[in-house]
Amino acid sequence: LEASQPPGMADPAGAAAATAAAPLAEEVGVAVPFSHQVGGHTPCVRVSAGLVAKPLSGRGERSDERVFYEQLLPRSLREFVPRYYGVRDVSFASGTDQGTEESSVPGAAAAGAAIFEGVNPWGRQCYDRYVAQLRQRGHTSWPCLVLEDLMARYTHPCVLDIKMGTRAHPDDVPEEKRAAARAKWAATTSATLGLRFCGMQRYQPASGRNLFEDKYHGRELRESDLPGALVRFLGLCDRSAAESHIKVWLAAVERLSAAVQEAAGYRFYSCSLLLLFEGDPASNPRADARLIDFANARLTADPDCDRGLLLGCASLLSLLARAGTLLAAGSAA
């Protein structure tokens, strides 16, 4: 990763000093599918209580996402990013080895949706595909980023994965790949709003199951659909809890927008913002918004901030406000 320092910026080594890997309190274990992955194609895996791991895109020191966490993460964004614990070789169990079968339940009403218990079917699919590819190459382990499990604070986490920005890849990615991504993004709300919904999981207390909508469902949503989709995400929350969660997200996205404006030169291509809340009405109500996925993040010579991500923040603030209006009116579009 070649990083240019924009004029007037502090040395990015300052970010490295501020975000050095935190010490691990325990050894990482064998990877198993992460129960709550709702988007992406690289598996996020659970390696111990409170820790997840993400396979590096390549071996060695030059993995782009590793460089981001160790050298490029701007201080202004630290509150939004999972805590980083360094890189470890992680062993991957196959489905047979770790004995977890896919747990989708028939009967979901819409295409691109599933009702399930246990491991989210999208996360399970990503995991099984990755393990098969790994073993075809003769490996049973691979170097992984070890990160804070953002779901660990929740009894039944509900999560909405929102792909942020108007562009998927930096200039150093082959043009063929960038062109394919441009065509895909142009057909979605990414082009006009700087965001699109990429996966949703919400807990249903009455059945003890989760309802999942995948990224293909999200690609079909138009701007007019998104406020109602946010209300649907909040699902069975009572109105006061739902309104409280929206207030938390509004405040978080406002802080994120301010942080992005401070991050001159940075581009966070294809990052995701996770909206989280506790789905169990018997547990302490809580909500959060966190930023993940930095394999395509770059530090450029352009002194401007990431306008695509900034547009996504502005659009999300508007959508959350409109969802709050729908809640107040007692109906969803």
What six digits make up the tokens of 66?
A: 């590793």
Q: Report pLDDT for 203.
A: 94
d(Cα 113, Cα 97) in Å, to the nearest integer?
A: 28
φ, ψ of residue 173 in degrees (nearest 5): -85, 140
* Residues linked to residue 266 through DSSP beta bridges, in sequence order: 299
Q: Report pLDDT for 12.
A: 46
Judge contact between 14 and 20, C-beta under 8 A: no
pTM reported for the whole predicted model: 0.88
| Nearest one of 206, 230, 257 to 333, comparing CA atoms | 230
Judge contact between 294 and 77, C-beta under 8 A: no
Q: Report pLDDT for 88.
A: 93
φ, ψ of residue 149 in degrees (nearest 5): -80, 105
Q: Which amino acid is at 315?
A: S
Maximum CA pair distance of the chain?
A: 58
Judge contact between 131 and 235, C-beta under 8 A: no
Half-sphere exposure of 310 (CA within 13 A, CB side): 13
Judge contact between 298 and 270, C-beta under 8 A: no
d(Cα 188, Cα 128) in Å, to the nearest integer?
A: 28
d(Cα 245, Cα 251) in Å, to the nearest integer?
A: 10
d(Cα 110, Cα 104) in Å, to the nearest integer?
A: 14
| Nearest one of 144, 113, 82, 125 to 293, comparing CA atoms | 82
How many C-beta atoms lie closer than 10 Å to residue 146's C-beta? 22
Instruction: Kindly give the confidence (pLDDT) of every residue in the chain, 333 residues in length, as a single tens digit, with 9 standing for 90 and above.
Output: 333 333 333 344 345 434 567 777 667 788 989 999 999 989 999 999 899 999 998 655 568 999 999 999 999 999 999 999 999 999 998 754 443 334 443 333 345 666 667 788 898 999 999 999 999 999 999 999 999 999 999 999 999 999 999 998 888 888 888 888 888 889 999 999 999 999 999 999 999 999 999 999 999 999 999 999 999 999 888 899 999 999 999 999 999 999 999 999 999 999 999 999 999 999 999 999 999 999 999 999 999 999 999 999 999 999 999 999 999 887 544
Region label for 288, one of left (φ > 0), alpha (ψ between -120 and 50) or beta (otherwise): beta
Q: Report pLDDT for 63.
A: 83
Residue appearing with tokens 């739902």? 242
d(Cα 155, Cα 179) in Å, to the nearest integer?
A: 41
Grouping H, G, I as helix, E, B as strand and the rest as coil, residue 207 is coil
What six digits make up the tokens of 286?
A: 């809580």
| Nearest one of 286, 303, 315, 276 to 151, comparing CA atoms | 276
Q: Report pLDDT for 6.
A: 34
Judge contact between 253 and 289, C-beta under 8 A: yes
